[in-house]
């Protein structure tokens, strides 16, 4: 039908926010100079309090890091591909 669940809409908004502001985030390759498996992932700061860990920014980065590499390489204007993936694989819970 092409209808997204509320958690899927939230995930899409998070992913688009990260993609739009990708220059403001540091990747693992910016933090250290040796190659690792996740060097293209965005670096997530570790916080002491769960309120900050569950913030919009951290949830957005976590969702972005879970994307397959082919979806990470897409430009912001091709967000329809990500939306179509979410329609095919609906999210009912974000954790």
Give the model's pLDDT for residue 61: 92
Is the Cα dihedral 12, 14, 15, 17 positive or negative? positive
Whether pTM exceeds 0.85: no
Structure tokens at 14: 């998070």
Q: What φ, ψ does residue 20 adopt, rounded to 5°?
A: -70, -35
Q: pLDDT value at position 68?
A: 87
**39/42 Cα distance (integer angstroms):** 8
Separation of alpha carbons 76 and 54, rounded Å? 24
- The tens-digit pLDDT sequence of the chain (95 residues) is 678 888 888 999 999 999 999 999 998 888 888 888 888 899 888 888 877 778 888 889 999 999 888 888 888 888 888 888 888 887 777 76
């Amino acid at each position: 039908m092409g209808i997204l669940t509320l958690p899927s809409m939230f995930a899409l908004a998070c992913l688009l926010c990260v993609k739009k502001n990708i220059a403001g985030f540091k990747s693992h390759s910016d933090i250290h100079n040796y190659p690792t498996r996740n060097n293209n992932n965005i670096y997530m700061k570790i916080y002491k309090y769960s309120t900050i860990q569950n913030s919009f920014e951290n949830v957005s980065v976590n969702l972005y890091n879970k994307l397959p590499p082919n979806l990470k390489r897409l430009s912001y204007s091709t967000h329809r591909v990500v939306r179509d993936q979410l329609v095919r694989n609906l999210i009912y819970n974000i954790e």
